[in-house]
Chain A
Amino acid sequence: MLTKRIIACLDVRSGRVVKGVQFVDLVDAGDPAELARRHAAAGADEIVLLDITATHEGRGTLLDTVRRTAKELFIPFTVGGGIRSADEAAAVFDAGADKVSVNSAAIADPQLIDAIGRSFGAQAVIVAIDARRAKESADPVGEAEVFVSGGRTRTGRQVIEWAREAEARGAGEILLTSMDADGTRAGFDCELTARVSEAVEIPVIASGGAGTAEHFAQVFRAGKAHAALAASIFHFGIADVRALKQELALQGVPVRLPC
């Protein structure tokens, strides 16, 4: 049986892992290569490294960090942040990434999804969507809006419609971050995740809000997510991946339990 994936996310700024609450108030959480190895050893199914300030400050992805992190990592490794062209994606793949995640640049030029997919395969392209519920709307979830540039800029585009376009253009997966939930540790936005998961055929990775094992179980069931991503709960020892997966297994969620 296909298992639900637990993805450890490393938000990186200037080569260091950081974590903030709702995209601000960043604090240092360690060395990306070391943290990636530690998460993999504890049973993380994938590692995602996001250069969170790349778009904002206009600098490229930290290829050296990617190379160093990929070196002894034998599970899928995704890199995102500041990837604006198929050439930049190629450099990231060359440094050892298996997938790239595109966000702001794909909104600005959706053909970027097609271009990376053509060269490296659909499985190598994750479209990351930073979403905020449309609080004024009668359907705040259905009309949730896409934000870019690390959550700083609103696009006026609706999340579900953009997810469908990304899929049509050849994205392999959707990484959906609820900005309302991110960093709160109060649980994923299951309703939003379920709506997106139902709207597309490709897998949806839920992100934002992880605090307890119960939150993961909820997003896999009610949220219909195929994978879930978390950063802060692992870094500060609230839970490691092994403990989280054991708890999920006890709750009947199919997970990979390495020995």
Chain B
Amino acid sequence: MIPVTVIDYKAGNLTSVVKALRYLDAEVTVTDRAEDVRAASRVILPGVGHFAATRRLDETGITPALRETIGRGVPFLGICVGMQWLLTGSREAPDQPGLGYFEGWCERFPEGSEKVPHVGWDHILTRTSSPTRLFAGVEQNEFVYYTHSYFVPTTISRNGQAETENPVAAGTDYIKMFAAAVEHENVMGVQFHPEKSSAAGLRILKNFLEFRC
């Protein structure tokens, strides 16, 4: 069984994520303590709802713990708000900083042409410029389940290093092309909900569980 630590910061319901991971035979620890995060060998930061909820990560000392853990090369997966938190911040709560692992800001879909939030099953296009381990075995144009009003733009960068590989691992076109997933070394994020995305979603979670640096 592969151990994985799921961070509980009171941002929505963790049951579905934990259920999917257990279905994949992971040994799941749910925690809200920084010391558990420091000791983790694989970390998932889920989260639905408002970006401001990530303030709790700062208050509980999880933010610096995660920075250390990620720095050690521990595989990290952010889901939904958990992915958005990897950026500088979000227009949803501009005073609440993100981790800043990627440079850029989460933006809100403009209203008018289509419904906001973006809810339902939509296509992903995966990166072809360099391989993504998260999407190994996942077909181009596969469907995944989304529910969000804010998104990670495709223009994000890692430490301003324009020469590094594109951190956007997959994109989805809704109103405009946005980042469906990011992947840079051991740090990954998905805007959609793999735990709700049927067989493709389970495959992505499995890829994360089997990820080796």
Q: Is the CB of B143 within 8 A of A256?
A: yes
Contacts of B195 in A (CB 8 A): 74
Q: Is the CB of A203 within 8 A of B143?
A: no
User: In the assembled complex, how far is the CB of residue A47 from the closest CB belonging to chain B, in whole angstroms?
Assistant: 11
**In the complex, number of A-B residue pairs with CB atoms less than 8 Å apart:** 94
Contacts of B26 in A (CB 8 A): none
Q: Say whether A93 faces chain B, with CB atoms less than 8 Å apart.
A: yes
Q: Is the CB of B143 within 8 A of A3?
A: yes
B196 partner, pick from A1, A74, A120, beta carbons under 8 A: A74
Contacts of B193 in A (CB 8 A): 76
Instruction: List residues of B (1-53) whose CB comes within 8 Å of A's CBs.
Output: 11-13, 15-16, 19-20, 23, 48-50
Among A4, A45, A75, A202, chain B packs the most CB atoms within 10 A around the CB of A75
Given contacts A70-B19, A71-B19, A96-B15, contact A226 B119 (CB under 8 A): yes
Given contacts A74-B202, A258-B198, contact A5 B15 (CB under 8 A): no
Q: Say whether B145 faces chain A, with CB atoms less than 8 Å apart.
A: yes
Instruction: List residues of A (221-259) whose CB comes within 8 Å of B's CBs.
Output: 226-227, 256, 258
Contacts of B120 in A (CB 8 A): 2-5, 45, 203, 226-227
Q: Is the CB of A124 within 8 A of B196?
A: no
Given contacts A74-B201, A121-B48, contact A226 B115 (CB under 8 A): yes
Cα distance, A2 to B48, chains bound together (Å): 20
Cα distance, A205 to B12, chains bound together (Å): 23
Q: Is the CB of A96 within 8 A of B16?
A: yes
Contacts of A172 in B (CB 8 A): 117, 119, 147
Q: Is the CB of A98 within 8 A of B13?
A: yes
Q: Say whether A94 faces chain B, with CB atoms less than 8 Å apart.
A: yes
Q: Say whether B122 faces chain A, with CB atoms less than 8 Å apart.
A: yes
What would 18 more interface pairs be, CB under 8 Å, given A40-B198, A122-B117?
Answer: A2-B114, A2-B122, A3-B121, A5-B120, A70-B15, A76-B145, A77-B16, A94-B13, A96-B15, A120-B12, A120-B13, A120-B49, A121-B12, A123-B117, A203-B120, A227-B120, A256-B121, A258-B143
Q: Can you report 25 A-B residue pairs in the complex whose CB atoms are below 8 A from each other?
A: A1-B123, A2-B118, A2-B121, A2-B122, A3-B122, A70-B19, A71-B19, A74-B23, A74-B199, A75-B145, A93-B15, A94-B13, A96-B16, A96-B19, A98-B13, A120-B49, A121-B11, A123-B48, A172-B147, A201-B116, A203-B117, A203-B120, A226-B120, A256-B143, A258-B143
Q: Chain B: residues with CB nearer than 8 A to chain A?
A: 11-13, 15-16, 19-20, 23, 48-50, 111, 114-123, 143, 145, 147-148, 173-174, 193, 195-199, 201-202
Q: Chain A: residues with CB nearer than 8 A to chain B?
A: 1-5, 40, 45, 70-72, 74-77, 93-96, 98, 120-124, 172-173, 201-203, 226-227, 256, 258
